[in-house]
Amino acid sequence: MLGYTITQWLFGILSFLAIMFALMVVFTRNPVNSVLYLVLTFFCIAGHYLVLNAQFLAVVHIVVYAGAIMVLFLFVIMLMNLNEDTEPQKTLISKIIAGCIGGVLLVVLVGSLKGAEQLQLHQSGASQIGLVKNLGKVLFGEFLFPFEIASVLLLAAMVGAIMLGKKEIK
């Protein structure tokens, strides 16, 4: 099809959708819609992981981000009863300034990365590094200590969230 392979088509479509949904996250006024667009963005990024042969990460990404983190966001937004009417808006001038800073940042980053070496991504179908077996070997071999530290971090976060979330007993 027009000289492009299926992978390149997939990359183009997923990139376009991801960028569109990401823009919608920023520009939608209703916070609930914002969360839903962010979930769609995460699905597009999971699709990118699949294109990149990182199957395990794609599944974990959907489970952790779209499944857990976004539900938490949605839960808090609905708990606070936020909607379009209560949404605080910045003044137009500060929005324009934010857009300008973003544009300048984009130009700087693109300009600095333009001279990078032109490397082609060789994705043979035989690439096995994204599978659970290989990732598990690396994770529980080379990265065993950071893995244990991460468990302590999650425990600390859980205790902290509970401490912050409970009502103060007077």
Partner 1 sequence: MINTIPINYYIMLSTILFIIGAVGVMARRNAIIVFMCIELMLNAVNLLLVAFSTLHNDANGQVFVFFIMAVAAAEVAVGLAILSMIYRNIKSIDIDLLSKLKH
Total residues contacting partner 1 by CB under 8 A comes to: 86
The CA-CA-CA angle for residues 35, 41, 42, to 5°, reads 90
Using CB under 8 A as the binding rule, whether residue 2 contacts partner 1 is answered as no
Contact 31, 85 (CB under 8 A): no
Distance separating alpha carbons of residues 67 and 6, to the nearest angstrom = 28
Q: Among 1, 89, 93, 170, which residue interacts with partner 1 (rule: CB under 8 A)? A: 89
Buried b / exposed e along 39-76 (16+ C-beta atoms within 10 A): bbbbbbbbbbbbbbbbebbbebbbeebbeeebeebbee
Cβ of 161: how many Cβ atoms within 10 Å? 11
- The pattern of x and - marking residues 111 through 150 that bind partner 1 according to CB under 8 A reads --x--x-xxxxxxxx-x-xx---xx--xx--xx--x---x
Interactions with partner 1, residue window 16-35 (CB under 8 A)? 18-19, 22-23, 25-26, 31, 34-35
Beta carbon of residue 164, minimum distance to partner 1 (angstroms, whole number): 4
In the complex, least distance from residue 31 CB atom to partner 1, rounded to whole angstroms: 6
| Contact mark string toward partner 1, 42..81, x via CB under 8 A | x--x--xx-xxxx-xx--xx--xx--xx--xx--xx-xx-
- Output the smallest distance, CB 18 to partner 1, in A: 7
**Three-state SS at 135:** helix
**For residues 165 and 169, which CB has a smaller minimum distance to partner 1 in the complex?**
165
